[in-house]
Chains A and B, each alone.
Chain A
Amino acid sequence: MIDRTVAMEIVLSALREAVDQNGGDASGVNEQTVIVGPEAVIDSIGVVSLIVDIEQRLEMDHQVSVTLANDRAMSQRNSPFRTAAVLADHILATEREGAVS
């Protein structure tokens, strides 16, 4: 199990890299940075890439195997990817779900 600080670190580091590679300024990335929607700092394919990146980091560095873009995530009214903080919470929720089942 990972804690929220670790989850947040993974999200922020992957997001900074995505913004940087998108040609944006990564220095302002924080917990409130918007990932999807009109004010998003990356484009839609960037989001897909970010999610897969985070999944891969969780697996390689923390032996945590999760599918973040799962059916439950896709059917939620509010996207679990909307901000860095929401995404970190989504990671923890998905991991707990996996541990229970």
Chain B
Amino acid sequence: MDGISPAPGAAPWLFERLATFGDAIALVHRDTPVSYRTLLERVQAWDVELEARGIGPGSVVLLEGTSSAGAVGLLLALVRRGAITVPLTPQAPVARETIAAIAEAGWQVSFTQAPDGDETATIVGAPRAVSTPVLLRLVDLGHPGLVLFSSGSTGTPKGVVHDCASLLEKFVRPGKRKTTLSFLLFDHIGGVDTLFNTLSSGGTLVTIQSRDPDTVCAAISAHRVHTLPTSPTFLNMLLLSGAHQRHDLSSLRLVAYGTEPMPASVLARLAEAMPQVTLLQTYGLSELGVLRTRSREGTLWVQFTGEGYETQIRDGILWVRTPTSMLGYLNAPDRFDADGWFCTEDAVEVDGDYLRILGRTSDLINVGGRKVYPAEVEEVLLDLPNVRDVAVFGRANPLTGQIVAARINLIAPENLDDFKRRMRLFCKDRLPSYRVPVHVEFTDDDQFGARMKKKRSSTAAPR
């Protein structure tokens, strides 16, 4: 399919709108501002390059880089030309070669940045026809595609194929113009949502070199960041580090967190530490995109507004139907039912219009037939003095099938027996006895991945 030039270009409204933002700042990358005008010049330059190589509908391009002007410019150029983009960042969950093979990528573009900030792009490859049915569907539709790889804890990550035209649909109505921190990158559904949301509304996206609390807070302060999309794990780290007290965060108005259940104790401490900030629970899955939600003030309850999607609860599990969901997986069986509903595998509690996410059904611990979700135990343990972080998981036990196990990061060293004694006393009035961890161990390793999402492993300390 290489060589076919897209006639009108995909999402023309987006490019028309970007042009109206002129000299406003689109990106701040490595503390260097990039205007919309410059960004569109990059798009144009890439367009010429892609045209020369015959890259268009049906071409799969692996894009390796971070949110630099060059890489974002290429992404936009690929969208406009109707090509299929596979964004990869340094934190990619698997080797580039594996991903290229799964996604049938004919082309690879890698961005590397010299210490002085100069960026170079290397493009290699050749035309290659796709054969995976889900990619062929994109070609038939004549729409640009986006392939995201889920960072599955086990096995080969799943390639999630999105129709980029329907992902962008949500942004036709412009949002509020604001400065947003790019916490997750464009290889993650949250990062893609932040990028398109910010650019389509004329806002500024601020990128960071690392996700440690001081770097993030320094960037918020230096660039007057308004919105911080992040994860509960990061927010807990932030509060413990005290970085929010060392930097001026007065510009911050909205903290949105998704990807995992928020511990009540972290939410309460956050509300106290940042009274001027609105806290919003979001709900996003690689397969569905990021759904618009509303949080019940100061609680873990979330209202799914149903803007552009429908929800159903079946046996305590959340199902979602939305036209913006993925077209399908590249390398896994579909998870849609006959009517197009997607099983999220997230267990929820219901209170009227509001839902509370309990956790993944795959993380569920079964103690002699009684259900325990790690998040409900973790949130109690996070309130226990001298606990920096905790991951709760099930461990096989002949007496009850499974027992609750906890791996703890301490703040200061402590004897295990003393800790267990303290923990059990603390949990006594806070958790039913079967939910109190029976097995406890300490670790010095971080228990979250590069994307600041908790990892629960029953075998070895996660890396």
Residues of A within 8 A of B (CB): 17, 21, 43-49, 51-53, 56-57, 60, 67, 69-71, 73-74
Contacts and interface: CB of A to CB of B under 8 A. Distances in A.
A65 B453 CA distance: 33
B372 to A, nearest CB: 11
A52 B461 CA distance: 19
A98 B138 CA distance: 60
Which 7 residue pairs spanning A and B have beta carbons closest together?
A69-B398, A49-B438, A52-B438, A45-B433, A48-B399, A45-B434, A69-B399
B184 interface: no
A17 to B, nearest CB: 7
A21 B421 contact: yes
B420 A48 contact: no
Contacts of B420: 53
B246 interface: no
A48 B416 contact: no
Nearest to B421: A17
A56 to B, nearest CB: 7
Nearest to A46: B433
Contacts of A53: 420, 438
B433 A56 contact: no
Contact of B425 (A21, A44, A49, A52): A21
5 contacts: A48-B438, A52-B397, A67-B398, A69-B397, A69-B399
Nearest to B424: A21
Interface of B: 367-368, 397-400, 403, 416-417, 420-421, 424-425, 428, 433-434, 436, 438-440
A48 B421 contact: no
A60 B416 contact: yes
Contacts of A70: 398
Q: What is the interface of chain A mostly: helix, strand, loop, or mixed?
A: helix
A47 B433 CA distance: 11
A45, A57, A74 — which one has the most chain B CB atoms within 10 A of its CB?
A: A45
A44 to B, nearest CB: 8
Given A43-B433, A60-B416, A48 B428 contact: no
Given A45-B367, A52-B397, A56-B416, 7 more contacts: A44-B368, A45-B368, A48-B399, A48-B403, A48-B438, A69-B398, A74-B398
Contacts of B400: 45, 48
Contacts of B425: 21
Contacts of B398: 67, 69-71, 73-74
A45 B431 CA distance: 13
A21 B436 CA distance: 12
Contacts of A43: 433
A52 B403 contact: yes
Contact of B399 (A47, A56, A57): A47
Contacts of A69: 397-399
A10 to B, nearest CB: 11
A44 B367 CA distance: 11
A17, A21, A67 — which one has the most chain B CB atoms within 10 A of its CB?
A: A21
A81 to B, nearest CB: 9
A49 B436 CA distance: 9
A45 B428 CA distance: 13
Contacts of B367: 45
Contacts of A45: 367-368, 400, 433-434, 438
Nearest to A53: B420
Contacts of B399: 47-48, 51, 69, 74
B433 A52 contact: no
A35 B428 CA distance: 20
B436 to A, nearest CB: 8
Nearest to B425: A21
Contacts of B421: 17, 21
B368, B399, B424, B425 — which one has the most chain A CB atoms within 10 A of its CB?
A: B399
Contacts of B368: 44-45
Contacts of A56: 416, 439-440
Contacts of A67: 398
A14 to B, nearest CB: 9
B404 to A, nearest CB: 10
A74 B416 CA distance: 28
A60 to B, nearest CB: 7
Contacts of A73: 398
A19 B434 CA distance: 16
Nearest to A70: B398
